[in-house]
């Protein structure tokens, strides 16, 4: 077993640890069960959650055993940490549905086979991980018992020192008792996972440090065992924005929300300054290669971005999709012929062109503009192209004379394409 901990450190995944040396030894000596919590706030993860996922994958590849939990119980409360407002509570059904979506995505990166990995079967040392919902143990909690057994281990004066809580208190934003309990519940998660599965390592974003430590402390007090915590640095892009947001909102792992092509494009378009770090985070390329690509400058850095985009897309959507996205991207921006199959396409009846369609209506209809007014602006500002020819007249009517073969190629701005296929019927 090579030293995963060093590898993670080298890739920049480690921010804080309970004890780096002990963790490194632990990981070197035995199969360690580790866990990461995911919020079930949506049915898909977005690339902001990719750091924990990649770390889990690295650890599993090194022979350790992951547990991914979704906060079905805690999700019903909302984590106050670093949030300015309370989050909406979710129903159990919603959480379960979101959980299924998240599980499907995690399985691209991890082996989380609940069936095979039977806790009671100590004969099989399975590397397969688990996917659990903390509602399974949180919902059945008895309040009095919980206070007596768990609550007594927490000191309020310590808890309110935690950054997340302190901010809320200082900024006089208020903090409901409900939210205040979040830390206890998360600590309890760790305790349960330790007791049930021998979990000895929890990983999470650096904003979770306080909550994770609470769990470490709880296990020590109740079980007298030392378990560990590791946090990742919080991700921001070079221009300070939160990672993974684009014009259209978050970049999702779900192909239905963010197409593989858009996903690929996200990575191609990252800020130069982020490329090197992102290669380390979001690909499994050896660090030598990462360093080589990261040292490229100016125009050459596009090669690095292409590798980044390809690798990241391959992980999220598979090789076939990554190949397609790459081909489409090269075609669209490499000056070559556009790959028709790769771009969003609509089919409309040929007759509609006979009478002509207003150019505004056309751009609106295919979704390149959200309203006719937006389409109007787009056209007036010179961002509307049909078959790569710019049209600036808003009263322009598109007729059959513009057809190239049986299709029209619409473009809005530099990067957004839409193909319309006309069909007789």
The site for RNA (CB under 7 A) is made up of 172-174, 239, 246-247, 265, 268-272, 298-299, 301-302, 305, 329-330, 332-334, 364, 370-374, 376-378, 381-383, 412-416
Q: Select 114 or 176, whichever has its Cβ closest to RNA.
A: 176
User: Which CA distances in Å does 402 have to 256, 319, 357, 420?
Assistant: 32, 37, 11, 12
Q: Select 286 or 382, whichever has its Cβ closest to RNA.
A: 382
> Which is nearest to 110 in space by CA: 69, 66, 71?
66
User: Regarding beta strands 65-70 and 33-38, do their DSSP bridges make them parallel or antiparallel, or are they unpaired?
Assistant: parallel
CB of 175 to RNA, least distance (A): 8
CB of 315 to RNA, least distance (A): 19
> Which is nearest to 281 in space by CA: 5, 14, 3?
14
3-class DSSP assignment, residue 132: strand
User: Which CA distances in Å does 255 have to 160, 284, 323?
Assistant: 41, 21, 15
Structural element, H or E, at residue 313: helix 301-317
> Which is nearest to 188 in space by CA: 119, 226, 118, 141?
141
Q: Select 126 or 339, whichever has its Cβ closest to RNA.
A: 339
Q: Select 218 or 270, whichever has its Cβ closest to RNA.
A: 270
Report the distance separating Cα 211 and Cα 214, nearest Å.
5
CB of 371 to RNA, least distance (A): 4
Report the distance separating Cα 103 and Cα 68, nearest Å.
9
CB of 71 to RNA, least distance (A): 22
> Which is nearest to 398 in space by CA: 388, 386, 390?
386
Q: Select 170 or 401, whichever has its Cβ closest to RNA.
A: 170
Report the distance separating Cα 290 and Cα 296, nearest Å.
10
Report the distance separating Cα 202 and Cα 353, nearest Å.
60
User: Which CA distances in Å does 176 have to 81, 198, 315, 327, 425?
Assistant: 12, 33, 40, 52, 62
CB of 237 to RNA, least distance (A): 9
Q: Select 28 or 331, whichever has its Cβ closest to RNA.
A: 331
Q: Select 16 or 339, whichever has its Cβ closest to RNA.
A: 339
Query: Between 182-197 and 209-223, two packed helices, what is the crossing angle to 10 degrees?
Result: 50
CB of 337 to RNA, least distance (A): 14
CB of 387 to RNA, least distance (A): 15
Q: Select 34 or 252, whichever has its Cβ closest to RNA.
A: 252
CB of 79 to RNA, least distance (A): 16
Q: Select 115 or 239, whichever has its Cβ closest to RNA.
A: 239
Token pair listed for 12: 């920049």
Query: Between 301-317 and 287-294, two packed helices, what is the crossing angle to 10 degrees?
Result: 140
CB of 411 to RNA, least distance (A): 8
**Half-sphere exposure of residue 57, counting CA atoms within 13 Å on the CB side?**
18
CB of 158 to RNA, least distance (A): 21
Q: Select 122 or 370, whichever has its Cβ closest to RNA.
A: 370
**Number of CB atoms found within 10 A of residue 372's CB:** 15
Report the distance separating Cα 316 and Cα 271, nearest Å.
21
3-class DSSP assignment, residue 366: coil
């Amino acid at each position: 077993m090579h030293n995963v901990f060093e590898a993670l450190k080298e890739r920049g995944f480690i921010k804080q640890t309970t004890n780096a040396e002990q963790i490194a030894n632990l990981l070197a000596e035995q199969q360690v069960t580790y866990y990461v919590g995911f919020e079930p706030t949506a049915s898909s993860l977005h690339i902001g959650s990719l750091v924990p996922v990649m770390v889990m994958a690295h650890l599993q590849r090194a022979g350790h055993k992951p547990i991914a939990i979704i906060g079905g119980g805690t999700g019903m409360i909302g984590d106050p940490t670093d949030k300015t407002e309370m989050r909406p509570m979710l129903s159990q059904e919603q959480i379960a549905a979101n959980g299924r979506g998240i599980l499907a995505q995690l399985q691209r990166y991890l082996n989380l086979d609940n069936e095979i990995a039977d806790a009671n079967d100590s004969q099989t040392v399975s590397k397969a991980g688990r996917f659990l919902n903390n509602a399974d143990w949180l919902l059945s909690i008895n309040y009095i018992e919980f206070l007596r057994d768990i609550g007594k281990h927490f000191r309020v004066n310590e808890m309110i020192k935690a950054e997340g809580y302190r901010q809320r208190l200082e900024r006089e934003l208020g903090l409901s008792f409900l939210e205040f309990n979040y830390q206890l519940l998360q600590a309890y998660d760790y305790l349960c996972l330790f007791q049930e599965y021998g979990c000895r390592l929890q990983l999470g974003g650096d904003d979770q440090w306080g909550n994770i430590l609470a769990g470490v402390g709880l296990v020590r007090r109740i079980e007298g065992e030392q378990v560990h915590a590791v946090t990742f640095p919080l991700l921001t892009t070079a221009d300070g924005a939160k990672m993974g947001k684009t014009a259209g909102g978050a970049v999702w792992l779900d192909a239905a929300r963010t197409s593989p092509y858009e996903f690929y494009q996200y990575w191609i378009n990252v800020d130069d300054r982020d490329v090197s770090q992102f290669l380390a985070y979001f690909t499994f390329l050896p660090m030598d290669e990462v360093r080589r690509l990261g040292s490229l400058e100016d125009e050459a850095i596009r090669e690095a971005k292409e590798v980044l985009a390809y690798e990241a897309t391959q992980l999220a959507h598979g090789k076939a999709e990554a190949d397609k996205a790459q081909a489409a991207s090269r075609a669209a921006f490499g000056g070559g012929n556009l790959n028709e199959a790769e771009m969003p396409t609509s089919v409309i009846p040929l007759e509609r062109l006979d009478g002509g369609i207003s150019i505004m209506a056309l751009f609106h209809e295919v979704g390149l503009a959200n309203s006719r007014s937006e389409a109007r602006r787009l056209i007036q500002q010179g961002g509307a192209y049909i078959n790569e020819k710019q049209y600036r007249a808003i009263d322009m009517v598109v007729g059959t004379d513009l057809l190239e073969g049986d299709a029209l190629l619409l473009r809005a701005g530099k990067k957004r394409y839409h193909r319309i296929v006309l069909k007789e019927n």
